[in-house]
Amino acid sequence: MKVLIVMGTRPEAIKFAPLIREIRKDDFFELLVCATGQHREMLNQVLDFFEIKPDVDLNLMREDQTVTDIIGGVLTGLNSVFDSYLPEIVFVQGDTSTAFAGALAAFYRKIKVAHVEAGLRSGNLLSPFPEEANRKLISVIADYHFAPTPYSAKALNNEGYHDNIWIVGNTVIDALHSGLKIIEQRKFDFTQEFKQVDFSKRIILLTAHRRESFGEPLERICEAILEIKRDFDDVEIVYPVHLNPAVRGLVFKLLSKKSGIHLINPLDYARLIWLMEKSYLIMTDSGGIQEEGPSLGKPILVMREVTERVEGIEAGTAVLVGTSKEKIQQCLKDLLTNKNGAYSKMAQAANPYGDGTASRKILEILKGLN
């Protein structure tokens, strides 16, 4: 079976890495990997870590590129890829502009589309933007829906999709297990790179960069962090700050040069999962971390008003705190003072996002259909 995997961002590369590994081990499949270059440096970091070399690179990234630029470039670029490779199935992942454009390009050529991480929904078309619209539009096009959880499969059912839906778990868990094994095998130790952090204290890892958090919401998050640090001397906060000036300017204004709060540059995948494993709890507005944290037994505070990953909330691995300063503070205090209660309950809750075998399941399903 001739398979084309299309990816353009760091999250896509992470979640496709284990699938690529499994496909390359299976003689039933012939694989071509296409990178669009929607992101460049961050994508390459992941590809290098997992030792993946794209067969085709559309090299689309431009300064000040728009969503329209990305989608137009992917549509045009993939057309020539289809001419030379003639895939039977195009794989897209998640909800990026690359994923939507890749699915649309395949649809125009009547090539089957497999959607990995299908069925995620926030219920608000503008949050996250444009991802919620992207994933809904991909569902219209997709021939195969690989849903991570029963909840995401049900979301597809509720929209009228009933055929070719399989619950397989999320490939991000496959990637996490694989990534930690690579770190162990290669004997990576990043302690010296984080020598300013006192690891004898409890580490709170913080990531916040979404558009919805710009301005006052991010300011409230920073204020909550400042007060928690004043109240808990045995806590260190590590914040890899996104390079976007809208994030960086505000965060450094409010949190720089504060004792026990470490503002660092964005981390590559290896360093991020290494630091996640060493953290006591994680505060995030990221999607993937909501899924990865529970596999490491880390309570997750989700700093978004809505989340498409409600399974973690319902399972008790995460709490949706939004960007309310008071709610963030209260939840943090509860977790930091109640280790045998609230903390252990969240840390020991079962991860609803899978057991690390999603990639293999996807390939076995496709082989069974053919």
Q: What are the extents of the domains in the chain?
A: 2-170+355-369, 190-347
pTM: 0.89
CATH of span 2-170+355-369? 3.40.50.2000
Domain 190-347: CATH superfamily is Glycogen Phosphorylase B; (3.40.50.2000)
For position 210, what pLDDT does the model report?
79
Per-residue pLDDT of the chain (370 residues), as tens digits, is 999 999 999 899 999 999 999 999 999 999 999 999 877 777 888 999 999 999 999 988 777 778 899 999 999 999 999 999 999 999 999 999 999 999 999 999 999 999 999 999 989 998 888 999 999 999 999 999 999 999 999 999 999 999 999 999 999 999 999 999 999 999 998 999 999 999 999 999 999 987 778 889 999 999 999 999 999 999 999 999 988 888 999 999 999 989 999 999 999 999 999 999 999 999 998 888 999 999 999 999 999 988 888 899 999 999 999 999 999 999 999 999 988 889 999 999 989 999 899 999 999 999 999 8
Contact by Cβ (8 Å): 23, 363: yes
Rounded to 5 degrees, what angle do the CA atoms 361, 274, 320 make? Answer: 75
Smallest CA-to-CA distance from 367 within 13, 4, 20, 27 is with 27
DSSP codes joined into one string, 56-88: EE-----TT--HHHHHHHHHHHHHHHHHHH--S
Copy the structure tokens of residue 153.
């499969």
For position 243, what pLDDT does the model report?
83
Task: Please determine whether the domains at 2-170+355-369 and 190-347 fall in the same fold group of CATH.
Answer: yes
Q: Any idea which residues carry the catalytic annotation? A: 95, 117, 131, 209, 211, 242
- The residue type at 63: E
Element (H, E) at 4: strand 2-7
